[in-house]
Structure 1
Amino acid sequence: MMASLRQRIRLDPRLLIGCVLVVASVLGVIWVVSQAKQTVAVYVAAAPIAQGDAITEQSLSIVNVPISDSHELYLTPDRFDGSAVISTRPIGQGEYLPLSAIGAGDETSAPVVVTISGALPEDVGTGVAVELWAAAPGERPGTYNTPVALVQQAQVVRVLESQQLVNSGQVEVELRIPDTDLAEVLTALTNGSRLHVVPLYRPVGE
């Protein structure tokens, strides 16, 4: 009778199922811990990167993040060979660099700092497309000719703050200018023209 009782306890399926669940739970914890320890190096922006800015190793930092499917969406050291690339949208400091925000280097435009007369329109900021207008000096001192559009579409790289310029009613703006318009822009900068920017697009919802 005792032998029969021991046999029933030993073959009780609930005991076997319980043991299997305990073993599976332990193995699951071990797997989760081991996965958490596996990381991959991903680039983040060391400082804010404006749309159109060149992306170099000096503008990037490396952080290690847990391996997941999402890390495939970001720039990693093994995907960056130092070739000329630019950002296709503004990227904030500390932000992972998504592959969707990186494009081939732009060899058809150049950054130029221009001094704008008066305050900037509220919508003008990094990444905004603008027209650049210029009013050349008139024949009489202190007068200006009718403004003309120098650049049909330029890209705002950044607005440069200067207390001295603010006090004088002027603002410096770095623009990315198409190469075909550079000569006219440089001429306007050297002949004392009054420059103005006009945003081409108004942000949605504002």
Structure 2
Amino acid sequence: MASRLHHRPWRDPRLLIGVLLVLGSTILGARLVAAADDTVRYWALDRAVAPGDSVSADDLVAVRVRLSSKVSDNYLPADEEFAEPLDALQWGERGAAGSLVERSSLQPKSSLGRSQLPLSVATGASPADLARGDLVDVWVGPGPGDESDDEAVRILQAVRIVETGDESASIGGSLAQTVLVDVADTQLQGSVVGTVASGHVTLVRVS
């Protein structure tokens, strides 16, 4: 009697390879879904903001991101209550559109005593394209033609431009513009006011 051959499909290499491919695809898909579930909605900036600007709902947009546990506490989840109403908050630092909102960048208006200091800035003593929101260092020293060995000194660091005025004739006859800068009251000492009023002011934009 001829021996009868038995076909055993589970030993077919093609079947085994197919099963492994399906299994691998299933595992990969499960991992991708699990990774997507790890994302959390955080607040990001929908537009650029400058220090001292009031916080508005129009500034914010919710985005889904995945952050490590080491840095996640630094940012503000979209489902978390703000410490105060938005109209009682202001931005404490410059932020670019699309960047995540750090907790430290939101500051209560009531906690910050601030003033606007006017500076008379001669033509050529500031960037030509100086604009509201720019951060500048304020240097004061002898003006052009002054006979003095004194060196210019930086009296204010990284203060925000509130407004730039039109050019007008200064006391010395040269063109100058009045520039308003936002300063904390702790920075605004009597010596600062006297120095900017009597010296040649130069504004250096900082990043």
TM-score by length of structure 1 reads 0.57
Partner of 1:63: 62
1:102 and 2:105 correspond: yes
Over 3 Å counting, the alpha-carbon distance change for 1:46 and 1:132 in structure 2 is farther
Contact residue 41 and residue 62 of structure 1 kept, 8 A = no
AA in 2 matched with 1:95: S
Q: Distance in 1 between matches of 2:198 and 2:57?
A: 36
Contact residue 137 and residue 206 of structure 2 kept, 8 A = no
1:75 and 2:76 correspond: yes
Partner of 1:130: 138
Alpha-carbon offset, residue 165 of structure 1:
3.9
Alpha-carbon offset, residue 113 of structure 1:
4.1
Over 3 Å counting, the alpha-carbon distance change for 1:166 and 1:41 in structure 2 is farther
Q: Distance in 1 between matches of 2:81 and 2:115?
A: 27
Where 2:135 maps in the other structure, the secondary structure is coil
Partner of 2:45: 45
Contact residue 50 and residue 94 of structure 2 kept, 8 A = yes
Matches within 5 A, 1:1-206: 3-4=5-6, 6-7=7-8, 9-12=9-12, 15-29=15-29, 31-32=31-32, 35-36=35-36, 39-51=39-51, 53=52, 56=55, 58=57, 60-69=59-68, 72=72, 74-77=75-78, 78=80, 80-82=82-84, 87=92, 89-98=93-102, 102=105, 110-119=114-123, 120-122=125-127, 126-131=134-139, 152-158=155-161, 160-162=163-165, 164-165=166-167, 169-179=176-186, 181-182=188-189, 193=197, 196-198=200-202
Where 1:179 maps in the other structure, the secondary structure is coil
Map Cα deviations across residues 23-70 of structure 1 (whole Å, 9 max, x no partner).
Answer: 32144235535754775322223443334x367454731222244549
Show structure 2 runs of 5+ residues with no match. 144-149, 170-174
Over 3 Å counting, the alpha-carbon distance change for 1:17 and 1:79 in structure 2 is farther
Q: Distance in 2 between matches of 1:176 and 1:161?
A: 15
Over 3 Å counting, the alpha-carbon distance change for 1:30 and 1:180 in structure 2 is closer
Map Cα deviations across residues 156-205 of structure 1 (whole Å, 9 max, x no partner).
Answer: 2125244x34796304232314436355667899xxx46753458x869x
Where 2:20 maps in the other structure, the secondary structure is helix
Alpha-carbon offset, residue 19 of structure 1:
0.6
